[in-house]
Amino acid sequence: MELRRRQLAELEEVIKELRGSLLAQVSRDVGAVRGLESALTRLAQGTYGVCIDCNGEIDFERLLAHPVALRCFDCQEARERTNSHLAEPKP
């Protein structure tokens, strides 16, 4: 009886971990779909490939590599430099 309880407790943990992993994947997938839908909207509006920061053209190669890009390489790089402190792990 005690063995069965321990086994069920272990299975519960496995199920919870799997659920967390699947929920994280769903969240990533939803984000990816939203990005693609946004890109299609910008394409229909004639603003696809235009940087949202400088209004310059986003290089074709960048769009091929990252079709949902909102910024040109320079503006994205500047944004990442500016916000790099947000990604630093907290002590």
Tens digits of pLDDT across the chain (91 residues): 888 999 999 999 999 999 999 999 999 999 999 999 999 999 999 999 999 999 999 999 999 999 999 999 999 999 999 987 765 555 4
Answer whether 0.75 is exceeded by the pTM: no
H or E, element range at 9? helix 2-45
